Amino acid sequence: MKVAAAILSVACLCLSGTASGAPGDDDFLALRDALRGKDKSKLEAQVQRLKGHVLEPYAAYWVLRQQLDEAEPAAVRAFLAEYKDTYVAERMRAAWLKRLGKEQQWAVFDAERPALVKDDPEIQCYTVQARVRGDAGAVREARPLWFTGKSTPDSCAPLFAMLAANGQLSVQDIWARVRLALAAGQVGVAVRAADYLPPGQPLNGKLLYAVSQNPAAHLARPFDAASRAARETTMFAAYRLARSSPSQAAARWAALESRFTEEERAFVWGHIGLQGALRHDPQALSWYAKAGDMDDFQLEWKARAALRAGDWKTLIAAVDAMVKENQDSPWRYWKARALKATGRDAEALVLLKPLSQEYLFYGQLALEELGGKVAVPPPAYTPSAAEVQAMSQNPGIRRALALYGLGLRPEASGEWTWTIRTFDDRQLLTAAEVAKRNGGIPDRVINTADKTVAQHDFRLRYFAPYRDLLRVHAKRNDLDESWVLGLIRQESRFMTDIRSSAGAMGLMQLMPGTAQWVANKMGLKNWRWSGVTDVDTNLSLGTYYLRHVYDYLDGNAVLASAAYNAGPGRAKAWRPERFMEAAAWAETIPFNETRHYVKLVMANASYYAHLLGQQVQSLKARIGDVGPAREEKPLGDTP
């Protein structure tokens, strides 16, 4: 009861007051440190000192969250009522629901569940568990959660057990998940799924792990084709081998497939085709031709293989087979191009016209395909000083700005994103203007303005701080300033101190090895990694390196953009044997991140060129073609 009372006193702190005149930021950081050290004797005193501070809700959240396992419902409900509709309330409710589900406190769970805004798989499974209490048939709602090759939360396990016990998981359903897991390389998930199989159909987990390490060796061994487990294991070996050598896997599978069912043969060919397409193997489409039903990921890569081969009819068929919701802008554009190439212009126009209204890579290309010229729309709305002032007093915006000021970027970004989630276009532009005027958070300027649907301001969407310095370095390295801006927008959103999960730092997201290599090339003495977030230093090193990869890749900005993201060795390996449209080449980049990155960088560059008042090329002219190297160049000591 003492813990509950202490938490309740924290939760009932009022939100009135502002940061100015209230106990300061040092108290807030001291509370965070006390929580990290679990020094409970200091917590209540620190919280009381933060009464009235703009970040008071976070103080209450941190204390209650640390003690949530011991908290009574009254304490949690008091917190949720006090901070209703805030980001911390949503986080607290999600954490509490998981505790309630784990403890099977279903009455409380049912009462609180409807107020949660953002769902996740763990809570989904607890939700179904709660429904099963009053309706045993509700367990069928868990069936869609079963059919995945990925690991599922522990909260799903009781549901899967009930499905199996009620006869709602057939043997075929169990094998379906085993196969999905093996196709995804998740041997552990496959083995756990196989636990639901009836006696006499064992799956050898130890053997599967061995196959994952040496699939070719397994394919050379005899197997019992009458055993489902033996067949699935051999199929796993075939598409596991395809990850490293699609052609070798195809040859091995062709020699074995007669011992498998028609459905099994087609399934494996679909995966061999996928791996071939990912490696730009010219035989990929012939392997795909032997496949049966495929998921959208396989179909997308079939379409990309067809695009690279210039096979418009196969591309149309692959796109038509996709789930309609997944036919996003790349496939609407390329299907339209395929329709035009096959004489179906009227059908192509139906796809191109709405796509041409979108301000993205394929929107620009669609507009040009219709004979239009890409331009930046005039600002549709400029908030007044009073509106900006009112937005700056929005409690969520105030909390986000305060968190940014304290260097608590993850919490600040979460708070900002939560606050603007329901904003209309005018509110979004006003919030973006607040971020711009507060400085230091250009990512919020860009990301917020980027969300508008009908009313846009490209001065905010394509915000360009540090231009005076950037112009100097771009000119020094003879680089197109709009391209460098487009690249930085994608790399860091102009955040100077941002650090990626891989360790890249600063505006141009330099890795330590790359920065050191460039510093050596530039003859910089006394270079220290600690200086990489300095704007001038980062731009100096980053533009030098960008020029290096640009020259290495024959002055092709599309290839150089791919190299900047994935490395020059990969960009070189992805070059086609014949010239092709750069847009088509970019769409067939095998790395998801790099494929999206290149398209966004080049679309960004086009809009920045307009905003800078440069002589503007069409996007298609800007990106041009991609082809084989003019001459073979060694990588040398490029990082």
Query: Which positions are catalytic?
Result: 491
d(CA 636, CA 582): 26
8 Å CB contact between 392 and 352: no
Amino acid at 75: A
Q: Specify the DSSP element, H or E, that contains 625.
A: strand 625-626
Q: Alpha carbon of 58 to those of 50, 90, 234, 411: distances in Å?
A: 10, 12, 54, 9
Amino acid at 70: E
Q: Alpha carbon of 509 to those of 67, 88, 167, 187: distances in Å?
A: 38, 31, 53, 35
- List helix spans (H) across 370-424: 385-392, 395-405, 409-420
The residues, ordered by sequence, that sit 6+ positions from 53 with a Cβ below 8 Å of its Cβ are: 17, 19, 22, 23, 24, 27, 28, 59
8 Å CB contact between 508 and 538: yes
8 Å CB contact between 11 and 96: no
Closest CA to 284 of 317, 307, 252: 307
d(CA 197, CA 192): 10
Burial (CB count <10 Å: 0-12, 13-18, 19+), residue 342: middle
Closest CA to 544 of 556, 560, 533, 529: 560
First and final C-alpha spacing in the chain: 60
Kindly provide the b/e burial profile for residues 435-462, where b requires at least 16 CB atoms within 10 angstroms of the residue's own CB.
Answer: bbebeebbbbbbbbbebbeeebbbbbbb
8 Å CB contact between 392 and 426: no
For residue 55 the two structure tokens come to 């970040």
Count CA atoms closer than 13 A to 452's CA, side-chain side: 25
Kindly provide the b/e burial profile for residues 231-261, where b requires at least 16 CB atoms within 10 angstroms of the residue's own CB.
Answer: bbbbbbbbbbbbbebbebbbebbeebbeebe
Closest CA to 408 of 10, 23, 55: 55
8 Å CB contact between 331 and 357: no
The residues, ordered by sequence, that sit 6+ positions from 54 with a Cβ below 8 Å of its Cβ are: 17, 18, 19, 22, 395, 398, 399, 402
Task: Compute φ and ψ for 310, nearest 5 degrees.
Answer: 70, 25
How many whole angstroms from its chain centre is CA 333? 22
d(CA 258, CA 253): 9
Q: Specify the DSSP element, H or E, that contains 626.
A: strand 625-626
